[in-house]
Amino acid sequence: MGFRKPLEINDVKMQLLKTHGEICSQYNDGWTSWELKKELYEIKWLLDECMKRQPDFSGEQEWLEEQDKKRVWSELKR
């Protein structure tokens, strides 16, 4: 079976960032923002469940550690 990319990561990221922007918008009331935040929680829970069911791959732990370091350095630079 060949490589198959089932989603476009940039589209997913853009949708999440747009939702974040709407949640934080001063023009939305708490009711609207809360509904959007609930949708993000549902996505998070689904993603967490999918990640738990997937196998570990060679080099995965090292990659995750490197990504964590990058995120920490990014936060420290702010």
Sign of CA dihedral 7, 9, 14, 15: positive
Which position has the token pair 């922007």? 21
| Contact indicator for 3, 17 with CB cutoff of 8 Å | no
40-72 pLDDT tens trace: 999 999 999 999 999 999 999 999 999 999 999
E-only strand ranges, 27-72: none
In a domain, 66, yes or no: no
In a domain, 42, yes or no: yes
In a domain, 20, yes or no: yes
More confident residue, 16 or 8: 16
In a domain, 75, yes or no: no
Mean pLDDT estimate for the chain:
94
pLDDT score of 75 more than 60: yes
pTM of the model: 0.78
Number of domains in the chain: 1
In a domain, 34, yes or no: yes
In a domain, 5, yes or no: no
Domain containing 40: what range? Answer: 11-55
In a domain, 2, yes or no: no
Quote the percentage of the chain above a pLDDT of 90.
86
Token pair in block for residue 33: 């923002």
Which position has the token pair 């974040």? 20
